[in-house]
Amino acid sequence: MNAAFLTIADAGKALRARAISARELTRLHLDRIAAHDPQLDAYVCVVGVAAMEAARRADDRLARGGEAGQLTGIPFAVKDILDVEGLPTLCQSRIMPDRPASRSAPAVARLEAGGAILLGKTALHEFATGGPGFDLPFPPARNPWDPRHHPGGSSSGSGTAVAAGLAMAAIGTDTAGSVRHPATACGIVGLKPTYDLIPREGAFPLSFSLDHVGPLARSVADCAILLDAMADDRGGGSYGGLIGQGMAGLRIGVLDTFHVEGGPVDAEVEAGFATALDALRGLGATLVPVSPPPLAAFLTCLRIIQQGESYAVHRRWLAERPQDYGAMSREKLAAGALVSAADFVTAQQARRELSARYREATRGLDAVVALSSFHLPCRIDDRAQLAATYDRQARAVFNVTGDPAIAVPVGFSPQGLPLGVQLAAAPYRERELLRIAHALETALGATRHHPALFLDGEAGAQSKAIAGSA
């Protein structure tokens, strides 16, 4: 296999065994970015010279042996909404000053302290809202399974880079699903941890009480490695410590009411969900029907809170420089002007009530499973379908509750586009969540497949359709 598509775990073993050097692995990724990113627009900034210097230091650490951890020599990327010392944080916008950050966000600094190598900063939706705009300083990222299609958002470039072998991992942010959406659309794994488990410091805010920082990677085990490095320590050992344990006796709630009440779901997406449920049963889990509060209540609650908080951030710029925003983000941000104080307070009260009702509905369960997206990735230039992409999904539920949630690929549609589901657990139950997600990932094997267009001629990695899907 092309080394660019190794998991972090496997690449780390190869690096520590000196089967490949950090400089060779980093150069491979930089060469792939040069060759393939013009088709994908995943990156807004590549720091090749600095990356190669960091790789030299990583090789020195690897040569010393004992100092080399699992992330030493691993190339990664950062969504350009998080600060990186010495680089501007532009948020895909003309609004932000082109001024280098004085220090890196903790999530970035902790990965680099562990020996990971920053390749550059990735594309996003302007200020993590709006959509894939063509009226912004940088073009929108594209889906590596079909560049005519949307890669999900807002951490679009991060998802594209990992899926296409242009980074081994990436950091994203998730306010209403923005790590899990690109993970689902690009056929990789995306983890939104418990609220503030990874510090939000150094990430430009969209919505203070809904924003989460999380990793995107090619496997659940890789997400666990990244979480170990980025998260605040809550004891209990590695977040991947339960990975590999069996599923027998676990109780998993099925949140199918969300997509039933949410309207029509693409047949291929529905087939992928059924495949995931069959796999969980086959692994020995007991599936339990759940009756949570209505999806619409969660979405309305989140929308009001997000609009109010984001307008508080952008109010001055919207008044003084409205023309400098892209059309889609300006429209969404300006809507916050219509949120009254009474609306905002009512939404916060509803948030507490919805979270309490959800906790009661899921009491005694080890995790829950739900759809992530209700539709296949749409054409990137289809405005109507893009609107549906953001309005019709079940990811926002877990931003309202603050619970950890992870998107896991389950297969591919007959058109070759990725299918995925999400799993969620109670706050700070990441270890149990990663255990279940890894078992599902292993059973279905979807993460072993990569976009054929970006495999540099390698065979055997074409996508496979879900059996029985339409």
Tell me whether residue 329 is one of the annotated catalytic residues.
no
Give the C-alpha separation, 330 to 319, whole Å. 11
- Token pair 């990789």 is at which residue? 188
Helix residue spans in 1-77 (DSSP H): 8-16, 22-40, 48-64
Alpha-carbon Rg for the chain, nearest whole angstrom, is 21
- Token pair 């099925």 is at which residue? 254
HSE at residue 342, side-chain half, CA atoms within 13 A, is 0
Q: Which of 154, 156, 355, 372 is catalytic?
A: 154
User: In sequence order, what DSSP letters do the residues of 147-174 get, joined into one string?
Assistant: TTB---SSSHHHHHHHHTTS-SEEEEEE
Tell me whether residue 104 is one of the annotated catalytic residues.
no
Give the C-alpha separation, 115 to 460, whole Å. 32
Q: How far is CA 335 from the centre of its chain?
A: 26
Tell me whether residue 155 is one of the annotated catalytic residues.
no
CA dihedral sign, ordered 402, 403, 408, 414: negative
Give the C-alpha separation, 420 to 454, whole Å. 21
SS3 292: coil
Q: Which of 79, 121, 192, 332 is catalytic?
A: 79
User: Which tokens sit at 118?
Assistant: 């920053």
Q: Which of 104, 156, 158, 178 is catalytic?
A: 178
Q: List the one residue out of 135, 140, 138 whose CA is nearest residue 160.
A: 140
User: Which tokens sit at 292?
Assistant: 């949570």
Q: Which residues of 330-342 are buried (b: 16+ CB within 10 A; e: fewer)?
A: bebbbbbeebeee
* Phi and psi, residue 462, nearest 5°: -65, 150
Give the C-alpha separation, 335 to 131, whole Å. 15
Question: Which residues does the annotation mark as catalytic?
Answer: 79, 154, 178
